[in-house]
């Protein structure tokens, strides 16, 4: 029986439900020291002096370093001339930027030392928000830049002809709110630099990538640099950023000759772990009276925070690549600007550039529906790319859609959602002051996933865009799969064992999946960009197929049969049609190490192989979501009454885990839409520095889910899996906001920015009175 597509329980869970997980902070080598930062309290200031003398003299303090102590080290990797220093030297550029670092015997003594460091700042005018940053008289973060605009990609054309000729046009200004990724485990690392080299345990999504960067940074060899990502408590794209602690902990460990551990507090995490989203968008759409899209003009202004992170710089490229969603738009013009401001740097957060695109285009089609008086679903249907039009080349060279069935997903959504009943209730409630306003919103979305085509990750500083897979059959017939993917909650140990079991014929229970250690895993890129199953999983399939072919040769030799006549299942090789002629996988594995048992020409150790899996194109998961909200017309509170979802991620390896990915992603999407926003005051002080103020929702704040799926496999791989990790957070925010706007549409409301807070809705309600 095939395990691909089965709801297999996770191999990961027994450790994690018994407290036997092994997260970075759980590790404590002998003589381990604790590192803590002195964070800047200013958003923009000249650092006049740092007095560490009192702190350094405190009991249990091993070292206090300021910028001068790391002057011999390079800065964090970044844009030439705009790199982030390990410790701020002359100027601080956001609240929370480390000014000094202390190392002490434990976290209590480290905290005391941090409190004893005295920093003298000369405040400079701060720049908060992209509008302020681009103002003519704005103070410049980097004087050499001559302003705060780091990069500009202008429109190729302003589409003046399209807009002049179009029967109708509409425009929207969108603020895609800044979010804090907020994995429940913050950033953490533990460095132990001994005579045999550097070992760094890190809560990280791409250990080999980090290994490469550390070796380059310190000028040491890859073979003496080991990075281990143990259990990692969530990442959501934020644990791939090359932040100072990843270099400082090793540098301090080397200098002090002792292990050094750094674990961020939540407050530090909210101010220093790179944020996501933070775009302002201007969009113009041209369309006809039938709701057909004729042209789209789209400009993104990306807030990159205090230092332009290479990943963060690339976000608008992804946003603009996906600007047209699942619709046919004949003429498109996109452009973007990258801007620095005195705020936390911005980089990838679950979806990384695509949620911003989906939010825009899904708001735009609703706007077209509103303007034309058509049902929003009808507008969508009239503009959908049709199932027979794939591969579909969009106006973006990045986005040649591999496969999809957008009308099919919408049909399935309307099977699980009683659309008419919602509309009827909406009408009934409208004039009853005691009842909430009802709204229903849709999002028929497509995203770009499976980051693996050559060049796609190299652009962000990675070694390659492939992923490695290695299978080693053990002498007893069990097997170990090594993957370069580095999971942090995805359940890869389970899904890859499913793929391997199916393709090897070895029972699932006799397969282990290892990851996250550069000393044992061949090479790797990492888990990000919804690439794990699509690329690394395909690599596991390919490696298993190769190993199985060799095993069949050995089995055939032992059975004196033709390899082509053998089938492998449930741990044995059997001659088709002659069940009595059978040899166990265990015997074949054993024989594979014994030259006398091998067929001619085969050498011992043949049942292991490595694959560097590449794919030619991205994959494009899609789906159709609906959100039903009720709006308290007196308080403005929005309650999500139901969330309906249909996903198409191609082949599903484990429906239980795929559903978990989708629901978790949608929870983050609803959180962005209704709850979460990183807020600064005009001077750049962070107002959301604890989980009291940054509102990550809990169980009573979120709805249950009604789910279904359709399956359009990707032609990119044999496996056919497209990726699922980011779908929920990409597809869901516009469904929520479209529902709110739908609930308020009778009042003339056409748009509301996220997060849709009760106060914001109240103002809209007041404005309409």
Partner 1 sequence: MNRIPVRVTVNGEPTEHDVEPRLLLVHHLRETLRLTGTHVGCDTSNCGACTVLLDGEPVKSCTVLAVQADGHQVTTVEGLAAGDGRLTAVQEGFRREHGLQCGYCTPGMIMAATGLLAAEPDPPEHRIREALEGNLCRCTGYQMIVNAVRWAAAHAGETFDVATGPRQAEGAA
Partner 2 sequence: MIPARFDYHRAADAAHALALLGELGDEAKLLAGGHSLVPLMKLGLAQPAALVDVGDVRELSYVDERDGVLAVGALTRYRDIERSELARRLVPILAHATGRIGDPQVRARGTIGGSLAHGDPAADLPAVAVATGAVMVVRGPGGERHVPAREFFRGFLETALQPDEMLVEVRFPASGVEPWAYEKFSRRAQDYAIVGVAVVRGPEPGIALVNMDSTPVFCAAASAALGRGEEARAVAELAAADGRPPSDLNGDGAYRRHLARVLTERAVRAAAI
Name the residues that contact partner 2, by CB under 8 A.
Answer: 107-108, 111-112, 115, 265-267, 634-635, 637, 675, 679, 687-688, 690, 692-693, 695, 697-698, 700-701, 757-759, 762-763
Considering CB distances under 5 to 8 angstroms, the limit depending on partner class, which of partner 1, partner 2, none binds residue 667? partner 1
Contact 623, 555 (CB under 8 A): no
**Which C-beta is closer to partner 2: that of 144 or that of 692?**
692
Rounded CA separation 274/341 (Å): 13
Q: Are 304 and 150 in contact (CB under 8 A)?
A: yes
563 makes contact, choosing from partner 2, partner 1, none, with CB < 5 to 8 Å by partner type, with none
Question: At closest approach, how far in Å is the CB of 239 from partner 1?
Answer: 11
The torsion region of residue 601 among left (phi > 0), alpha (psi -120 to 50) and beta comes to left
**Could you tell me the smallest distance in angstroms from the CB atom of residue 690 to partner 2?**
8
Residue recorded with tokens 């994690």: 16
φ/ψ of 589, rounded to 5, equals: -65, -45
Q: Are 504 and 550 in contact (CB under 8 A)?
A: no
In the complex, least distance from residue 643 CB atom to partner 2, rounded to whole angstroms: 18
* Contact residues: partner 1, CB under 8 A: 5-10, 12-21, 23, 25-26, 28, 106-108, 182-186, 231-234, 236, 265-267, 488-491, 508-509, 655-657, 659-661, 663-668, 690-692, 696, 698-700, 702, 704-705, 728
666 contact, one of partner 2, partner 1, none, CB 5-8 Å limit per kind: partner 1
Q: Of the two residues 49 and 690, which places its CB atom closer to partner 2 in the complex?
A: 690
CA distance 421 to 311: 45
Q: Give the residue among 548, 537, 546, 530 at the shortest CA–CA distance from 513.
A: 537
- Minimum distance, C-beta of residue 117 to partner 1, in the bound complex (Å): 19
Q: Which of partner 1, partner 2, none lies near 7, with the C-beta cut-off 5 to 8 A by kind? A: partner 1
HSE (CB half, 13 Å, CA atoms) of 658? 27
Q: Which does 115 bind (CB under 5 to 8 A by kind): partner 1, partner 2, none?
A: partner 2
Rounded CA separation 31/344 (Å): 33
Strand segments (E) across 435-478: 437-446, 467-473
603 binds, among partner 2, partner 1, none (CB under 5 to 8 A by kind): none
Q: Pick from partner 1, partner 2, none: which does 687 bind, CB < 5 to 8 A by kind?
A: partner 2
Say which entry of partner 1, partner 2, none residue 664 contacts (CB below 5 to 8 A, set by partner kind).
partner 1
| Smaller CB separation from partner 2, 265 or 683 | 265
Tell me the closest approach of the beta carbon of residue 152 to partner 1, in angstroms: 35
Read off the tokens for 639: 């309650």
Contact by Cβ (8 Å): 42, 123: yes
Residue 75 contact, options partner 1, partner 2, none, Cβ 5-8 Å cut-off depending on partner type: none
The entry of partner 1, partner 2, none that residue 173 binds, CB within 5 to 8 Å by partner kind: none
Contact between 497 and 485 under an 8 Å Cβ cutoff? The reply is no
Q: Which two three-digit tokens encode residue 296?
A: 């789209």
Residue 593 token pair? 């190490």
Rounded to an integer, what distance in angstroms lies between the CA atom of residue 735 and that of residue 737? 6
Task: Count Cβ atoms below 10 Å from residue 37 Cβ, excluding itself.
Answer: 24
Residue 755, preceding peptide bond in cis (omega within 30° of 0): yes
Closest to partner 2 by CB, 107 or 331? 107
Q: Which is nearer to partner 1, 134 or 416 (CB)?
A: 416
Angle at the Cα of 497 from the Cα atoms of 496 and 502, rounded to 5 degrees: 100
- Taking the complex as a whole, the smallest distance from the CB of residue 667 to partner 1 amounts, in Å, to 3
Nearer to partner 1, 178 or 261 (CB): 261
Q: How far is the CB of 755 from partner 2 (least distance, A)?
A: 9
Q: How far is the CB of 769 from partner 2 (least distance, A)?
A: 12
**Nearer CB in complex with partner 1: 136/692:** 692
Query: Which listed option, partner 2, partner 1, none, makes contact with residue 634 (CB within 5 to 8 Å by class)?
Result: partner 2
DSSP 479-541: EEEEES---SSS-HHHHHHHHHHHHH---GGGEEEEESBTTTS-----S-TT-IIIIIIHHHH
In this structure, how many other beta carbons lie within 10 angstroms of the beta carbon of residue 115? 14
Shortest gap between Cβ of 435 and partner 1 (angstroms)? 20
CB of 5 to partner 1, least distance (A): 7
> Under a CB-based contact definition with an 8 Å cutoff, are residues 231 and 485 in contact?
no
Nearer to partner 1, 106 or 389 (CB): 106
Residue closer to partner 2 by CB (options 28, 763) is 763
- Residue closer to partner 2, measured from CB, 415 or 763: 763
Nearer CB in complex with partner 1: 60/77 = 60
């Amino acid at each position: 029986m095939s395990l691909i597509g089965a709801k297999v329980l996770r191999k990961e869970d027994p450790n994690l439900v018994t407290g036997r997980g092994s997260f970075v902070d759980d590790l404590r080598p002998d003589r381990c020291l604790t590192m803590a930062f002195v964070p800047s309290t200013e958003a923009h200031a000249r650092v006049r002096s740092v007095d560490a003398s009192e702190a350094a003299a405190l009991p249990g303090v091993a070292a206090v370093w300021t910028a001068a102590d790391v002057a011999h080290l390079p800065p964090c990797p970044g844009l030439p001339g705009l790199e982030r220093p390990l410790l701020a030297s002359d100027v601080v550029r956001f609240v929370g930027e480390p000014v000094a670092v202390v190392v002490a015997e434990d976290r209590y003594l480290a905290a005391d030392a941090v409190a004893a460091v005295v920093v003298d700042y000369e405040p400079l005018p701060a720049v908060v928000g992209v509008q302020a940053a681009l103002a003519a008289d704005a103070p410049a973060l980097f004087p050499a830049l001559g302003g705060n605009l780091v990069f500009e990609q202008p429109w190729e054309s302003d589409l003046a002809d399209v807009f002049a000729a179009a029967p109708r046009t509409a425009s929207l200004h969108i603020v895609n709110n800044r979010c804090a990724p907020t994995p429940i485990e913050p950033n953490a690392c533990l460095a132990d630099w001994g005579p045999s080299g550097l070992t760094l345990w890190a809560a990280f999504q791409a250990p080999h990538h980090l290994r490469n960067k550390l070796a380059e940074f310190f000028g040491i060899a890859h073979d003496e640099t080991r990075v281990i990502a143990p259990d990692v408590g969530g990442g959501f794209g934020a644990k791939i950023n090359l932040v100072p602690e990843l270099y400082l902990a090793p540098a301090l460990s080397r200098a002090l000759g002792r292990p050094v551990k750094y674990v961020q507090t939540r407050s530090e995490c909210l101010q220093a772990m790179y944020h996501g989203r933070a775009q302002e968008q201007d969009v113009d759409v041209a369309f006809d009276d039938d709701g057909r899209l004729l042209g789209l003009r789209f400009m993104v202004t990306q807030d990159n925070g205090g230092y332009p992170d290479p990943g963060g710089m690339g976000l608008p490229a992804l946003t603009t690549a996906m600007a047209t969603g699942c619709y046919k738009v004949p003429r498109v013009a996109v452009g973007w600007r990258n801007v620095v401001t005195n705020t936390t740097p911005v980089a990838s957060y679950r979806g990384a550039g695509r949620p911003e695109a989906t939010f825009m285009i899904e708001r735009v089609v609703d706007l077209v529906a509103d303007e034309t008086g058509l049902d929003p679903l009808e507008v969508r249907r009239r503009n959908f790319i049709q199932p027979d039009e794939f591969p579909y080349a969009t106006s973006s060279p990045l986005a040649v859609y591999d496969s999809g069935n957008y009308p099919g997903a919408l049909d399935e959504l309307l099977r699980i959602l009683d659309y008419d009943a919602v509309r009827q209730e909406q009408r009934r409630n409208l004039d009853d002051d005691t009842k909430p306003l009802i709204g229903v919103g849709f999002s028929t979305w497509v995203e770009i996933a499976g980051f693996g085509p050559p060049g796609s990750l190299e652009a962000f500083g990675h070694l390659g865009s492939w992923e490695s897979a290695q299978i080693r059959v053990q002498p007893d017939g069990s097997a170990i799969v090594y993957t370069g993917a580095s999971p942090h909650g995805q359940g890869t140990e389970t899904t890859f064992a499913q793929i391997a079991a199916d393709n090897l014929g070895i029972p699932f229970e006799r397969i282990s999946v290892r990851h996250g250690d550069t000393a044992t895993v061949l090479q790797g890129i990492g888990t990000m960009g919804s690439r794990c199953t699509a690329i690394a999983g395909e690599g596991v399939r390919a490696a298993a197929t190769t190993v199985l072919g060799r095993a069949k040769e050995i089995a055939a030799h032992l059975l004196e049969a033709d390899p082509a006549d053998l089938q492998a299942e449930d741990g044995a090789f059997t001659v088709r049609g002659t069940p009595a002629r059978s040899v166990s996988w265990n015997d074949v594995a054993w024989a594979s190490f014994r030259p006398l048992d091998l067929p001619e020409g085969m050498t011992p150790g043949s049942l292991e192989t490595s694959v560097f899996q590449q794919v030619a194109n991205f994959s494009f998961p899609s789906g159709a979501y609906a959100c039903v909200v009720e709006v308290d017309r007196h308080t403005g509170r929005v309650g999500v009454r139901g969330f309906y979802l249909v996903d198409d991620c191609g082949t599903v390896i484990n429906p239980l885990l795929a559903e978990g990915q989708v629901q978790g992603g949608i929870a983050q999407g609803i959180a962005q839409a209704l709850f979460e926003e990183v807020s600064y005051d005009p001077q750049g002080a962070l107002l959301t520095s604890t989980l009291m103020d940054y509102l990550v929702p809990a169980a009573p704040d979120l709805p249950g889910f009604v789910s279904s799926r359709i399956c359009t496999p990707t032609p990119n791989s044999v496996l056919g899996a497209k990726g699922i990790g980011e779908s929920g957070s990409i597809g869901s925010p516009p469904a929520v906001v479209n529902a709110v706007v739908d609930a308020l549409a009778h009042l003339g409301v056409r748009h509301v920015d996220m997060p849709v807070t009760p106060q914001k809705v109240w103002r809209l309600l007041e404005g309409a009175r």
